[in-house]
Chains A and B, each alone.
Chain A
Amino acid sequence: MKKNLTGLAFASPWIVGFLVFTLYPLGASFYYGLTDFNVFQSPKFVGLDNYSELMRDDLFWKSVRNTLYLTVISTPVNLIFSLLMALLLNRRIRGLSWYRTVYYIPTIIPLAATSLLWMWIMNAQYGLLNAMLGRLGLPQPNWLADPALTKASLVLMGLWGVGNIIIIFLASLQEVPRSLYESASIDGAGAFRSFLNITLPTISPIILFQLIMQVINNLQYFTQAYFIVSSTNLNAGTSGGPENSMLMYAMYLYHNAFQYFKMGKASAMAWILFVIAGAITWLIFRSSKRWVSYGGGD
């Protein structure tokens, strides 16, 4: 009993922190999701009204579609690109540490600065990208103003900041036992074969981790879209970019909370996102039994 108490006392900073800063806000937000609450007047219980209002809200569905689109495209693109980069950075070449640094640097730059930089690169008339495309005689798309292209532009921008994913892949690649490659090459396996049958299975737990992190990050996509929209639109407060094509889920949640002061609706949105993220993560975990190998065993 006394031992237990001592233990609890030592764990109490975490327990208190968890209860006060995680569990309580979590519970409070669930409750607010069932209320009409504008920060100033005390919350009024309305049952599931916020949820049914969201189901009828065109902008809500628009933000869901935008976010899923971004998640479905951006996640695999980021992962494949990062893995390829990590494979390159794992080779013994001259100036390796220089390359590794260069590819990591964009990660350190604040997202706002990154967004501003890319807005200039993607500027339709004065941008670097279109200048290059023009010189090659290629069409010069309207990256950030054509509703059909804005999300693709965000995906492209995102590729610049994958340094963190690369670093983790790189670390996992170096964990792959060299002896496996050696015996494979004795058995006559080529580079591609070794990659498919040795590298991928060995790093598959890391791929699983990165996949889940990417999915969750993309579902919460906010900063870049918000920044681009607010610095190109005088009506920034509630804008979702050209034809709302950059209205991400987290952005619409923010609009509801801090522009329309509909804290109840915003809390309900947060819970829906939580459930969606949970469901997707669960599906990925379930499927992972088939493609993730933890070594040993059979």
Chain B
Amino acid sequence: MALLLATAVLAMTATACGNDNSNGKAASESGSTASPAASSATPAKEKTKVKFWYLWGGVEGENVEKLIAEFNASQDLYVVEGLSVPDVQKVVVGISSGDGPDVTDNFSNNTASYATKGMLEPLDDYIAKSGFDTSDFVPAALEGGKYDGKQYALPINVNFNLLFYNKKMFADAGITEVPKTSDELLAAAKKLTKVNADKSLEVLGFPDFPFVYYTTGMSMAFGGSFISEDGKTLTPDNAGTIEAIKTIQDYRNEFGVDNILKFNSSAKYLDATDPFILGKQAIRIDGPWFGNTVKNVLQKDIDYGVAPLPGPAGHPELAGGGEVSSSTFFIPSNAKNKDGAWAFLSWLMAKENMIKFNDMFANLPARTSAYDDPSLQDIPDFQTFAEAAKNPNLKSFPAFEGQSEYNKIINDEFELAAGGKQSAEDAVKHMKEKSANLLK
């Protein structure tokens, strides 16, 4: 009896504990609406804290801290406390417990998923109230912070890939023109590939590594779109995806899937075994950071050129396309110091600070008005990317709650097809079937 009683009491305390947690969360949420009001009512008395968690670590983290220090020096209302949390899950769990950051960074491909969960504070009112100017943002990048018509996050940079090619290898193979269509890409890649006596690859001629840059990126470069114009139907069965699959299948058939997989799996991206950096890859799809990594970080002397990704044959109006994404910053909906968070966020997103940020990270700023700034010109290939960023054919991956599942389905079926396990037509059919219920 006593045991029963004791267990019952303990069970109650346990459930009380459980309730306590959720109460705590609710309290902190209501507290969050109260505190900014309080802080704005009593200005200059004491600086209020703004918790800023960022995903960068190491040297990049130190760079972020420099910017934080600069912001704090300029402030008499707020003081930002930076914390490097290089693990997205930790940030998410922190926010869900109500004890997370006031402002943090993420990626544009998570905006929709986070927004539908009520995790993000809409920024439209803050933007309107403070007269924050977004007119010079790259439209696709700004779009990456939007969901359902609201601006939930702001992009600090623009990421998309261009074609990097080894000039010496091109000259040696007698190729004078950079490939502009899938046919030209295939023809050049076959000429550029070098095979060892045992059929293993000495030089990879095709942008097969890193594979994930090829799948959705080349599908979009070949004019494909993964969602219908009206945003109501997922269209993985587009002509661009089929063309991207067929092109890689053709290349892999010529040299053997196993040989290419062996080559790819032995290589590590931006590492000592990266084939482009070793001079063993002739054509590479990569982003604005690539040149800086090769030349300044790894200090390799490779004579390479940069060009737009090949487009679909016979459609010059679709040339220069590809997939755009961004690093974004947002304010969690349960942040305790939202005004402070916006003060820091809008400071960081102002043109001169965005330039400082991108100069440190060798990235392309999200504001096109920054592209002439002298301090950015010494970033390798900066102007090439700046020019390419203006191309209207750059598109984002469709933004909706299930987009990471959608992306996974596309990549999985693409991989099977590229590995010779199914035809391009079957691959897109399977993508279509498996993603049928994702868009609710």
Interface residues of A (CB under 8 A from B): 1, 4-5, 8, 12, 15-16, 19-20, 23-24, 28, 38-41, 58, 123-127, 142, 144-147, 231-235, 237-239, 242-244, 258-261
Docked complex Cα distance between A63 and B405 (Å): 16
**Cβ of B286 to closest chain A Cβ, rounded Å:** 11
Q: Could you tell me if B118 and A146 are in contact, using CB atoms closer than 8 angstroms?
A: no
User: Is the Cβ of A20 less than 8 Å from the Cβ of B14?
Assistant: yes
Pick 11 A–B contacts, CB within 8 A, sort by A: A8-B6, A12-B6, A12-B10, A15-B7, A40-B119, A123-B266, A142-B261, A142-B265, A145-B262, A232-B265, A238-B407
Among A15, A123, A145, A232, contact of B10 (Cβ-Cβ < 8 Å): A15
A144 to B93, CA, bound (A): 32
A260 to B266, CA, bound (A): 30
- Looking across the interface, which residue of chain A has its beta carbon closest to that of B411? A235
Partner of B262, one of A38, A40, A142, A231: A142
Stretch at the interface among B169-177, B309-317, B384-392, B414-422: B414-422
Q: A124-B265, A125-B200 are in contact. Are A4 and B14 (CB under 8 A)?
A: no
Contacts of B69 in A (CB 8 A): none
A232: chain B residues at CB < 8 Å are: 265, 268
Look across to chain B and name the residue whose beta carbon is closest to the beta carbon of A57: B434
1/0 per position for B1-38, CB-CB distance to A under 8 A?
01100110011011101100000000000000000000
Distance in Å from the Cβ of A29 to the closest Cβ of chain B? Answer: 13
Do residues B404 and A238 form an inter-chain contact, with CB atoms below 8 A? Answer: yes
The answer to whether B2 and A8 have CB atoms under 8 Å apart is: yes
Distance, CA A235 to CA B408, complexed state (A): 9
B273 within 8 A of A: yes
Asked if A125 and B266 make an inter-chain contact with CB atoms under 8 angstroms apart, the answer reads yes
Given contacts A40-B118, A146-B258, contact A259 B404 (CB under 8 A): yes
Tell me the smallest distance from the CB of A59 to a CB of chain B, in Å.
8
Minimum CB–CB distance for B145 against chain A, Å: 19
Most B CB contacts (10 A, CB to CB) among A4, A16, A125, A258 go to A125
Q: 7 additional contacts, CB 8 Å, given A15-B10, A19-B11?
A: A15-B6, A24-B14, A24-B15, A39-B93, A234-B212, A239-B411, A243-B415
The answer to whether A261 touches B10, judged by C-beta atoms less than 8 angstroms apart, is no
Residue among B92, B405, B416 making CB contact with A39, cutoff 8 Å: B92
What are the residues of chain A within 8 A of B7 when measuring CB–CB? 15, 19
Question: Distance (Å) between the CB of B371 and the closest chain A CB?
Answer: 27
Interface residues on B, range: 35 or more
Chain B residues near A238: list those with CB within 8 A.
404-405, 407-408
Neighbouring A residues of B113 by C-beta, 8 Å: 261
Give Cα distance in the complex from A233 to B268, angstroms. 9
B96 lies within 8 A of A40 (CB) = yes
What distance in Å separates the Cβ of B90 from its nearest Cβ neighbour in chain A? 10
What chain B residues lie within 8 Å of A12 (beta carbons)?
6, 10
Q: Are B266 and A19 interface neighbours, CB within 8 A?
A: no
**Interface residue B264 (Cβ < 8 Å from any Cβ of A):** yes
Contacts of A146 on B, CB cut-off 8 Å? 258, 261
